[in-house]
Amino acid sequence: MEKDLIELERLTKALANRRRLAILRYLKKYTGVSVTEIAEEIKLSLKATSKHLGILAASDILEKDQRGLQMFYHISNNQRQRPVVKHILSLL
């Protein structure tokens, strides 16, 4: 039970940021998007965008795919998503 609470805390902290929510909203519309495209969409520097993407990826909310020198992101498969994440995504 304690492990479940720790996991829930980790996920809710990852989701409790307007920039990360903006990233998720954008990735709901478009899949396989580069860091550059995401940064331009949410009007944030590449460094800051990469940090937010790293937090979402570390929480298994996003998956990444490297092609050459660029990294592309998409929302993780729904089968792997926790119910809280699915609910938040449904609200975006």
How many C-beta neighbours within 10 Å does residue 10 have?
Answer: 14
pTM: 0.89
pLDDT surpasses 70 at 70: yes
What CATH number did the domain enclosing 38 receive?
Answer: 1.10.10.10
Give the residue from 31, 3, 8 showing the smallest Cα distance to 87.
8
Q: What is the pLDDT of residues 1-56, one digit of tens each?
A: 788 888 888 899 999 999 999 999 999 999 899 999 999 999 999 999 999 999 99
Q: Which residues contact 30 (CB under 8 A, 6 or more apart)?
A: 37
Q: How many domains does the chain have?
A: 1
The range of the structural domain enclosing residue 53 comes to 2-91
For residue 33, give the H/E element and its range.
strand 33-34
